[in-house]
Amino acid sequence: MFRTFLIPPVAFALVSFFLGELGDGLNIFQGIYLVGLGWNEGAIGTALSLMGLTALIVQTYAGDIIDKTTVDRRTLMTVAALFTAGSAMAIMFVEGDNGHALMYITKVIEGIASSFINPCLAAMTLASFGPDAFDSVMANNVFWGHVGSSVSAILAGTTAYICYPDIKYCFFVIGMSALCSIIFVQFLPEGDASMGRGFANKVSDSTSPYQTSDVVGLPTSKVNDQVAASYFSVFSERRTLVLCITGFFFHLANANVLLVLGELMAVEDNNDDNDDANNGGNDAANRAAIPLVAGAILLAQVTMSAATLIGGRLTERGFGRKKLFLAGLVTLPIRCALIICLKDAGSSFLLSTQIFDGLGAGFFTLIHPYLVADITFGSGRFNVIMGLTVSAFGFGSTMSNYFGQMVVEQFGHVMSLSGSLVISVIPIVVFSLLMPETMNTRGKTGTSKPQATFKTPDHDVMMT
């Protein structure tokens, strides 16, 4: 009965806020902590990248499981949040230059568990509010997630600065956030599980590019009785491919930029601290870098929050997905060019470029689920395509960090940024030329012809 205590939009906002505090931004503080324990850069890079690599592999499968499951998605999210928080806090048991196996194993577990959180939240949002209200509620979820990440950066940065060099207490932010998110997940409605996986849940005839069941208003228990589109039909859909390619190249250009930015600011700070000849000089410099790191995270998250509000309002007024998504893509080459021009201007000027990171990521994160919902509505494959696209984005990020740092090592920071600048033009061209406007197309015939499917006990087979 206590689930009726909070109205659904408020419950979703609270869950999004506390899940936002579990964000990847705390990975930066984990890196700082491991440096203080004597870990070398290679070991730290391996540990922190394992989560992303694992999520890259698992994400699509996680989306498919969330689509097909008959288990209450609130239970899945609760378990995922517990494992994510527990794995992230395992770093507190690492002592000295030891515990590599513990970090590597827990990062793999964290990558698997975290892959279920956002798809579960998106599925329950669609299941509870339906396709018509999905955009506004999802925008609210994204906004409060950014607010949670901002608060997390402030709390973690402040705790780390006060307790330095013993900054491990900042990781209690993760534990408290997980506990609160688990509490408020219980207030979420389960909604219509059928609609949560992207079924139209009504007689669609020719109104959907995908053939669904002709039974109206199936209850949750009958979700598996509906006929989902074949994997091939949704994976090969032109708009799905365009979104995957666009996101891949955007993240291929984008992910490395923050690393290079941090390195440039670190070089600037080291130059400023060259006059400190006392034994505590490096220690003071490392401590002073903590608010700079927190500031970079905070500035980007605050800007993302603003971009989410603006994007949400424009969407309500009928502003198209394509324009907003392109606005996010265009910020990346501008950001790269500004960093190149301001590389010698000081940390404050370099830090200000994070505004463009916030704008780009804000619009991208907001519009991405809108596009997937538009593309997959009626197919029963909403979450698996969410997972597929996120995997494509993650692959771009992984390649960006690897090759971007190779270029830095061989040719320097400017050349790496110049490469990102050139690559950042590709997603703009691809999306502007190949992606049609998808707003108001949910349930309407898309670019591909309707597919008929029949269901076998183990899989779906496409009929032509």
Q: Is 110 inside any structural domain?
A: yes
Cα separation values, 44 from 70, 108, 284, 400, Å = 39, 14, 22, 17
Instruction: Looking at the structure, tell me whether residues 184 and 207 fall in a common domain.
Output: no
Instruction: Looking at the structure, tell me whether residues 438 and 373 fall in a common domain.
Output: yes
- The 10 Å Cβ neighbour count of residue 236 is 12
Instruction: Looking at the structure, tell me whether residues 418 and 438 fall in a common domain.
Output: yes
Q: Is 196 inside any structural domain?
A: no
Would you state the structure tokens that stand for residue 295, as one six-digit string?
């500031």
Instruction: Looking at the structure, tell me whether residues 367 and 447 fall in a common domain.
Output: yes
Instruction: Looking at the structure, tell me whether residues 167 and 50 fall in a common domain.
Output: yes
Task: Please choose, from the candidates 235, 173, 197, the residue with its C-alpha nearest in 3D space to the C-alpha of residue 19.
Answer: 173
Q: Is 288 inside any structural domain?
A: yes
Would you state the structure tokens that stand for residue 456, as one six-digit string?
């076998």
pLDDT at 430: 95
Domain boundary pick from 142, 159, 191: 191
Q: Is 55 inside any structural domain?
A: yes
Instruction: Looking at the structure, tell me whether residues 267 and 119 fall in a common domain.
Output: no
Q: Return the CATH number at 383.
A: 1.20.1250.20
Instruction: Looking at the structure, tell me whether residues 77 and 166 fall in a common domain.
Output: yes
Domain boundary pick from 128, 158, 191: 191
Would you state the structure tokens that stand for residue 253, as one six-digit string?
């250009």
Task: Please choose, from the candidates 252, 259, 257, 261, the residue with its C-alpha nearest in 3D space to the C-alpha of residue 426.
Answer: 252
The answer to whether 71 and 221 have CB atoms below 8 angstroms apart is no
Q: Is 119 inside any structural domain?
A: yes
Q: Which amino acid makes up residue 173?
A: V
Instruction: Looking at the structure, tell me whether residues 277 and 345 fall in a common domain.
Output: yes
Distance CA 175, CA 170 (A): 10
Number of H helices, E strands in the chain: 17, 2
pLDDT per 10-residue tile (average), the chain, 464 residues: 63 88 66 75 74 85 86 89 84 76 87 87 88 86 88 81 76 81 87 79 40 35 61 87 94 85 66 50 60 76 87 85 92 92 79 87 90 86 89 87 81 88 95 90 49 36 32
DSSP letter for each residue of 309-362: HHHHHHHHTT--HHHHHHHHHHHHHHHHHHHHHTTTS-HHHHHHTHHHHHHHHH
- Residue 99's domain comprises 1-191
- The residues pairing with 462 across neighbouring beta strands, listed in sequence order, are 453
Tell me how many domains the chain contains: 2
Q: Is 28 inside any structural domain?
A: yes
Instruction: Looking at the structure, tell me whether residues 179 and 254 fall in a common domain.
Output: no
Instruction: Looking at the structure, tell me whether residues 297 and 400 fall in a common domain.
Output: yes
Domain boundary pick from 128, 157, 191: 191
Distance CA 47, CA 33 (A): 13
Q: Is 197 inside any structural domain?
A: no
Instruction: Looking at the structure, tell me whether residues 364 and 243 fall in a common domain.
Output: yes
Instruction: Looking at the structure, tell me whether residues 448 and 355 fall in a common domain.
Output: yes
Cα separation values, 211 from 108, 123, 227, 464, Å = 38, 20, 8, 12
Distance CA 174, CA 166 (A): 17
